[in-house]
Every structure is written in C-alpha cells, then in structure tokens.
Chain A
Amino acid sequence: MTLDVIFKLLMGGMGVTVSIFVLTLLFSIPLGLPVSLARMSKSKVVSAIAGVYISIMRGTPLMLQIIVIYFLPFYGFGINVTSGYRFVAVIIAFSLNYAAYFAEIYRSGIQSVPKGQYEAAQILGYSKAQTFVKIIMPQMFKRVLPAMTNEIITLVKDTSLSFAIATAEMFTIAKQIAAKQASLMPLMAAGIFYYVFNLLVAWVCRKVEKHYDYYKI
C-alpha cells in the first residue's frame, strides 16, 4: 500500500481531527476566561470551586475524562445515547479540559499586568469592567500568546486520544488500517499529518504574535 493510498483512506478521519481541534479551541478559549476570573475571585467559595475544577481537569488523564463523559449519561442516568454522541462527548471533554489549562494561562497573564495599569485606569475614571476589558485583557492576551501556542500544539496531538471511545478521527482509522495490513506505514502517515498540521499551527501562532509586536509591555 503506497503512502498516497493511505492518505486517501485517512482523509475522512482528518476532517474529524480538524473538527475536534477547531471546536475545542472555539469553546475552550472563551470558557477559560470565566474559569480564570472565578479562580481569582475574592469569594473564597467561588475561587475554591474553580480551584477544584482546574485541579481535577489537570490531575486526571484526558483519556479518562473522555471515557467518563461518554459513558456518564448511560451509567449515571440510564440514558441511551445515540452514536452521534460519541463526537459530542469528545468535544465536551476536550473543551472542559483545555478550558482549565487556558484558565491558568490567563490567570498568569492577568496577574503579570502591573498594578499601575489598574491604578491609572481608576484615576482616569474607568470602571472596573472597563478597566478589565479595555486595559487588562488586551495586555493579558499579548502576554499569554507563547504559552497558548504551546497548549494549542499539544491539542493537535491530543486529538488522537479520542480513539479511546472509537471516534472516527484520523488516528483511530490509522490504527485500524495498521492492524489490518500489519504495517507501520499508516501510523507513519498519521505522524506526518500531525507534524505538518502543527507546522501550520506554529506558523499561524507566530503570525499572531508578530501582529502584536507593535507595542512592548
């Protein structure tokens, strides 16, 4: 079996992989913000809840989280899920997991903005919400870009973990073909795909970082 035949077979799975990647970012990047604000909340209860959430999400394997979320409706509530839920479960698990990581990255970014920025905003008449949205958040975003790039690159590779519940993403298919053909080639092809995908991701992230070079902090 030649590489181009393998790539054709993997094609369908690639679409699913890219979907997992895109949807996870779409949900987890915004979701990380309220989690991070909750983590920094003055209310001890709110902060503790966010702390436990982050701790569980970071402290247990993502693969386990995927499996739990997939089987929870049936074992937890006796609901029979449709086959379409497989993909939904993957997106929920990935989004919840990555939101926890992003929340911590945001927190480090927010806390690294100097106190003087808040003070200047207060003196100049900005409300707390205006200060956060107009002054703090944009500076936070610039500060966290390198850490975000790291996390996003990890996400590309982590999509393969969804084979745990037999989602038809690329890695799952590659494994099946490899087993059938008794060949490493399909897995090699998968490796090439991830590598090229990540080259692209790194390139985009570098472009975004460059875009924010117009000012220094």
Chain B
Amino acid sequence: MELLRIENCRKSFDGEEILKGISMSVNEGEVVSVIGPSGSGKSTLLRCACMLEHMDGGTLSYAGRIAAQEKEGKVIYANPADLKEIRKTFGLVFQNFNLFPHYSVLKNVTEPQIIAGKSKAEAEKKALECLEKLGLKDKAKNYPCQLSGGQQQRVSIARALALEPKVLFFDEPTSALDPELTGEVLKVIRDLAALHMTMIIVTHEMNFAREVSDRMIFMEHGVVRAEGTPDELFGSDDERLKSFMGKLNGN
C-alpha cells in the first residue's frame, strides 16, 4: 500500500528554487533514505512532506488522501479538519529533538496523545511502554535538560511513536549528536526497520543508510539525481554519485 506520494514538488525561498519538481512515493513497510550534499534540498523536501513548509507547486497525499494539490498554478491544501486527520498519518523526528523543556520526559510523550483524544491513564500507559522499548523508562520523571543528546533524541522518537504514525520521518536525526552518541539513536532506527516501520530518513550517515534502507534517493541541486536500492546506488557508474559516496565513506 502506498502511504506517501509526492508529485512534482516545487519550493522556492526568496526567488531561489530549492526543489525543482521532486516526485517520490513510499510504500508501507519501506525504509527510504534521502541523501545528498548540503543545500541539495533534502530537508526542504521533508519539511514540505510534513507540511511545515507550503509547497509552491505539486501534489502531496498520504495513504490516498490528498493533503495538497495544484490547481491553476496554485497549491491548495485540504481543509483544516482533513489536514488534522492527515497529520495523524505521520510523525517527525527533528534534528535538534525539539522536546518541550518544561515538561518531564513522561509528559512529553503523554500530552500529545491526550491532545489526540486519549484518556490520561491510557496515554501514560502507552508512553511508559514506548519509553521502556527505547530503554528510557527510568528517565520518565526527568526533564530533557537532564538527559544526554542521544537520550533526548530517543525520547523524541518515543514521543513520535506513541502517536502510532503510519510513516515516520527523520530529519538528520544524528547530526546534532556527539559521534559517540549517534550509535544509540541509529540502533533504535535499525530496530524500527526490523519491525517494518515505514520510515523516510534524511541522513549523512552513509553506511547506516546503506544498511537500513530498502531504497535510497540521491538529491542534488533540487532534483533527484539517482534512486534505487543501496546496492544499485553504491555500485553505480555515475561519477558524481561515486565521488559523493566515496567522500562520505572517508575513502
């Protein structure tokens, strides 16, 4: 089943076109990573998909429901009630976590569920379940500032998972972490992949992407330069692709 479909997505900032007509689709259970040099538009694409940015052109749909479509050169978003429902389809893990600092770890994971309509008891039960899965149950009463970056990122993953999204986006989830802390976050994502969680991961961790992804998308200058299985991309004859992958592998 197709969970996400983006067609011909275009986005400009201050007259500079960052996305020049990107299309992608993601099926249930797939792990897709989006790679490419800085400034290639990876994060912008992800932010457009999550509706944190409005597209200038193109179509966006989740599980067959249209969130935004182009009509007479203008992108029309669905009405607020529909968007609210569509937003429940996906979750997003931010580069710098964006946990709520004034809430305890438990409340960070609990409150969004209550907002979504669950009872407090139900939400807390689910929150503790998610925290336990991520090895953070003993941190439930702590505040984000008392945790390491890796732990904070794991809390933010727990927060996203507690809402049971069908698709989970990761925006460079380890870029704000010390190198020795990236491992614990990558492990969590790896475990989710093993459980066939549908994920779209923007990342610079090339070896990790290769290992965890079903499909990789290589972006450059606002277009998809190459797309395929990790083996296809790593085995590609494309000089640009080879040099990019080689550089990031430290060769």
User: A216 to B52, Cβ gap below 8 A?
Assistant: no
- Which listed residue, B52, B101, B145, touches A123 by the CB 8 Å rule? B52
Q: For the complex formed, measure the closest distance between the CB of A145 and the CB atoms of chain B, giving whole angstroms.
A: 13
User: B144 to A116, Cβ gap below 8 A?
Assistant: no
Q: How far is the CA of A150 from the CA of B189 in the complex (A)?
A: 48
User: B115 to A124, Cβ gap below 8 A?
Assistant: yes
CB-defined contacts of B50 to chain A, threshold 8 Å: 123
User: A215 to B144, Cβ gap below 8 A?
Assistant: yes
Q: Give A125-147 as 1s and 0s: 1 = Cβ < 8 Å from B's Cβ atoms.
A: 11000100011001100100000
CB-defined contacts of B111 to chain A, threshold 8 Å: 134
Interface residues of B in 101-157 (CB under 8 A from A): 101-102, 111-112, 115-116, 143-145
Q: How far is the CA of A116 from the CA of B50 in the complex (A)?
A: 13
- Which listed residue, B88, B101, B163, touches A217 by the CB 8 Å rule? B101
Least CB separation from B143: chain A residue: A215
Interface residues of B in 36-62 (CB under 8 A from A): 50, 52
- Main SS of chain B's interface residues? loop
Please tell me if B84 contacts chain A, counting CB pairs below 8 Å: yes
Q: How many B residues touch A, CB cutoff 8 Å?
A: 24
User: B163 to A124, Cβ gap below 8 A?
Assistant: yes
A139-B91 contact in complex given A123-B52, A130-B115, C-beta closer than 8 Å? no
Least CB separation from B117: chain A residue: A125
CB-defined contacts of B144 to chain A, threshold 8 Å: 215
User: B115 to A120, Cβ gap below 8 A?
Assistant: no
User: B91 to A123, Cβ gap below 8 A?
Assistant: yes
Q: How far is the CA of A125 from the CA of B117 in the complex (A)?
A: 10
CB-defined contacts of A124 to chain B, threshold 8 Å: 112, 115, 159-160, 163
CB-defined contacts of A130 to chain B, threshold 8 Å: 115
Please tell me if B196 contacts chain A, counting CB pairs below 8 Å: no
A116-B101 contact in complex given A124-B115, A125-B163, A130-B115, C-beta closer than 8 Å? no
Q: For the complex formed, measure the closest distance between the CB of B94 and the CB atoms of chain A, giving whole angstroms.
A: 6
Q: How far is the CA of A132 from the CA of B94 in the complex (A)?
A: 20
Q: For the complex formed, measure the closest distance between the CB of A66 and the CB atoms of chain B, giving whole angstroms.
A: 38
- Of residues B91, B99, B100, B144, which shows the largest number of chain A Cβ atoms within 10 Å of its Cβ? B100
Please tell me if A122 contacts chain B, counting CB pairs below 8 Å: yes
A139-B112 contact in complex given A124-B163, A125-B88, C-beta closer than 8 Å? no
Least CB separation from B90: chain A residue: A123
A119-B94 contact in complex given A214-B143, A215-B101, C-beta closer than 8 Å? yes
Please tell me if B87 contacts chain A, counting CB pairs below 8 Å: yes
Interface, chain B (partner A; CB < 8 A): 50, 52, 84, 87-88, 91-92, 94, 96, 98-102, 111-112, 115-116, 143-145, 159-160, 163
18 contacts between A and B (CB under 8 A): A114-B98, A116-B94, A117-B98, A117-B100, A120-B94, A120-B99, A120-B100, A123-B87, A124-B163, A125-B88, A125-B115, A125-B163, A142-B102, A215-B101, A215-B102, A215-B143, A216-B143, A216-B145
